[in-house]
């Protein structure tokens, strides 16, 4: 595949923009320094306008901001920690400028599809990726789940499976598929309490993804009672002009935040590598040091060291390897 390949890590490493870099503009003494820039948290993005939460004198205010030209092509996404200059009062019709994007601790990336080489970060700095899937109605789409897990592992997020509509069936078959990965799973239904899930989300930033109809909006509304997310496909079918499809950050009443992602229905993995997945599993990565160069660690790689490791150990190793290889296959399926 010809063309520019986006460096999968450039978003993490190169995101802090230094003013005057590359000397493209003469530096002058009048060039403003950003020492006085105000820190903020991006809670939503809509057509180039960012909503940024800033700590004001009387508590948090929401400031509308746009990217400063000096940020170049670096995008700002929900969850980004930024620094602002200009009018940060949050008053109507004011606009601030984002001059710094702080380095990201994690990134949730996607490509539009596997053949589209444009990769974009959609959420920054979330600790947990909550993959919401129904046990039935709609039937779980395991390909989507595999891709979510890969996106989590390669972006530095901890995945958590949230199995909704537990009243409609047993999650056991689904859990067995991922058992070897030690991914935490919590079953919920709209008629039972969220006592198991809520503590996992407390005091951290979690991003929720799920395919249409799994009950994600129903869940978000229960977690954040004033979120008013539309459920049951209402008003989402027509995608009205004012329907934002970008990620939105919401405060949990007990502390912590969830980022809802109505726009994400798939994960392309064009720029993800088996090595990105492997890196998330310390024990497997250690064993795979003995693999031949260029080993993709699939069942078709003749001398993959993971085969001997699984064959020489307890059955749980075989299960772990099988689960891992399903993820690697999701990366390889282009
Ligand atoms: N049986 C059952 N149905 C549920 C449960 N939770 C949600 N539903 C129903 O599933 C349908 C989809 O719920 P939503 O919350 O809108 O799902 P969503 O994931 O936001 O999907 P979209 O609306 O397409 O974005 C609705 O008809 C809900 O009433 C549950 O725990 N059990
Ligand atoms: Zn290997």
- 248 and 278 assigned to the same domain: no
Q: Which of 228, 260, 292 is the last residue of a domain?
A: 260
For residue 138, give the ligand nearest its CA. Answer: 1
Pairing of β 257-260 and β 248-251: antiparallel
What pLDDT does residue 132 have? 96
- Calculate the average pLDDT of the chain: 83
Q: Which of 64, 85, 101 is the last residue of a domain?
A: 101
Protein residue with least CA distance to atom 32, ligand 1: 165
Asked if the structure places residue 17 within a domain, the reply is no
Is there an atom of ligand 1 within 6 Å of 53 CB? Answer: no
Is there an atom of ligand 1 within 6 Å of 232 CB? Answer: yes
Closest CA to 276 of 288, 292, 261, 259: 288
What pLDDT does residue 116 have? 56
- 295 and 322 assigned to the same domain: yes
CATH code of the domain in which 193 resides: 3.40.50.300
pLDDT classification of 240: cutoffs 50, 70, 90: very low
CB atoms within 10 A of CB 310: 22
Is 211 annotated in some ligand binding site? yes
Measured in Å, residue 97 CA sits from the centre of ligand 2 at 48
- 87 and 112 assigned to the same domain: no
Domain count, the chain: 3
**Hey, which of 144-148, 240-244, 309-313 has the most confident mean pLDDT?**
309-313
Q: Is the pLDDT of residue 189 over 70?
A: yes
Protein residue with least CA distance to atom 30, ligand 1: 165
pLDDT classification of 159: cutoffs 50, 70, 90: very high
Is 152 annotated in some ligand binding site? no
Measured in Å, residue 78 CA sits from the centre of ligand 1 at 24
- 174 and 290 assigned to the same domain: no
Is 213 annotated in some ligand binding site? yes
**Average pLDDT of span 287-306:** 93
What pLDDT does residue 190 have? 92
What pLDDT does residue 29 have? 46
pLDDT classification of 243: cutoffs 50, 70, 90: very low
Asked if the structure places residue 9 within a domain, the reply is no
**What are the residues facing 162 on neighbouring strands?**
132, 186
Q: Is the pLDDT of residue 3 over 80?
A: no
Comparing 5-14, 67-76, 202-211, the range with the smallest average pLDDT is 5-14
What pLDDT does residue 216 have? 94
What pLDDT does residue 235 have? 45
pTM over 0.80: yes
DSSP string, 104-172: PS-EEEEESSTT---EEEEEES-SEEEEEEESSSSPP-HHHHHHHHHHHHHHTPEEEEEEE-GGGS--H
- 179 and 309 assigned to the same domain: no
- 225 and 147 assigned to the same domain: yes
Q: Is the pLDDT of residue 74 over 60?
A: yes
Domain assignment of residue 306, given as a range = 274-332
Q: Is the pLDDT of residue 106 over 80?
A: yes
pLDDT classification of 32: cutoffs 50, 70, 90: low
Asked if the structure places residue 125 within a domain, the reply is yes
Is there an atom of ligand 1 within 6 Å of 236 CB? Answer: yes
pLDDT classification of 233: cutoffs 50, 70, 90: low
Is there an atom of ligand 1 within 6 Å of 217 CB? Answer: yes
Atom number in ligand 1 closest to CA 190:
31
Distance CA 102, CA 83 (A): 8
pLDDT digit string, tens, across residues 124-149: 999 999 999 999 999 988 888 888 89
Is there an atom of ligand 1 within 6 Å of 165 CB? Answer: yes
Tokens linked to 173: 């078959």
- 43 and 129 assigned to the same domain: no
Distance CA 194, CA 178 (A): 22
For residue 302, give the ligand nearest its CA. Answer: 2
Comparing 92-101, 258-267, 304-313, 321-330, the range with the smallest average pLDDT is 258-267
Asked if the structure places residue 24 within a domain, the reply is no
- 118 and 240 assigned to the same domain: yes
- 256 and 285 assigned to the same domain: no
- 66 and 118 assigned to the same domain: no
pLDDT classification of 6: cutoffs 50, 70, 90: very low
- 179 and 282 assigned to the same domain: no
pLDDT classification of 9: cutoffs 50, 70, 90: very low
CATH code of the domain in which 59 resides: 2.40.50.140
Is there an atom of ligand 1 within 6 Å of 164 CB? Answer: yes
Name the percent of the chain lying above pLDDT 90: 54
Is there an atom of ligand 1 within 6 Å of 168 CB? Answer: yes
Protein residue with least CA distance to atom 27, ligand 1: 232
């Amino acid at each position: 595949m010809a063309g520019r390949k986006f460096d999968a890590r450039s978003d993490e490493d190169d995101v802090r923009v230094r003013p005057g870099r590359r000397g493209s503009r003469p530096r002058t003494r009048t060039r403003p320094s950003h020492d006085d820039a105000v820190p903020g948290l991006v809670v939503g993005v809509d057509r180039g306008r960012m909503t940024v939460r800033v700590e004001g004198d009387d508590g948090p205010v929401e400031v509308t901001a746009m990217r400063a030209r000096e940020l170049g092509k670096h995008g700002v996404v929900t969850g980004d920690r930024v620094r602002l200059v200009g009018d940060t009062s949050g008053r109507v019709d004011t606009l601030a400028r984002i001059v710094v994007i702080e380095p990201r601790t994690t990134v949730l990336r996607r490509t539009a599809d596997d053949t589209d080489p444009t990769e974009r970060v959609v959420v920054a700095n979330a600790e947990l990726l909550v993959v919401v899937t129904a046990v039935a109605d709609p039937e779980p789409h395991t390909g989507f789940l595999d891709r979510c897990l890969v996106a989590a592992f390669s972006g530095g997020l901890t995945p958590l499976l949230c199995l909704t509509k537990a009243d409609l069936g047993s999650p056991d078959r689904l859990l067995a598929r991922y058992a070897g990965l030690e991914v935490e799973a919590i079953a919920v239904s709209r008629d039972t309490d969220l006592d198991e899930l809520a503590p996992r989300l407390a005091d951290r930033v979690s991003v929720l993804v799920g395919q249409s109809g799994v009950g994600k909006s129903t869940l978000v509304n229960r977690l954040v009672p004033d979120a008013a997310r539309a459920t049951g496909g209402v008003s989402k079918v027509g995608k009205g002009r004012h329907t934002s499809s970008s990620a939105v950050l919401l405060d949990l009443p007990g502390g912590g935040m969830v980022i809802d992602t109505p726009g994400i229905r798939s994960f392309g993995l064009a720029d993800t590598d088996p090595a990105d997945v492997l890196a998330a599993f310390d024990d497997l990565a250690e064993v795979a040091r003995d693999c031949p160069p260029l080993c993709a660690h699939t069942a078709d790689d003749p001398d993959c060291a993971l085969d001997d490791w699984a064959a020489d150990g307890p059955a749980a190793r075989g299960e772990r390897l099988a689960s891992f290889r399903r993820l690697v296959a999701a990366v390889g399926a282009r």
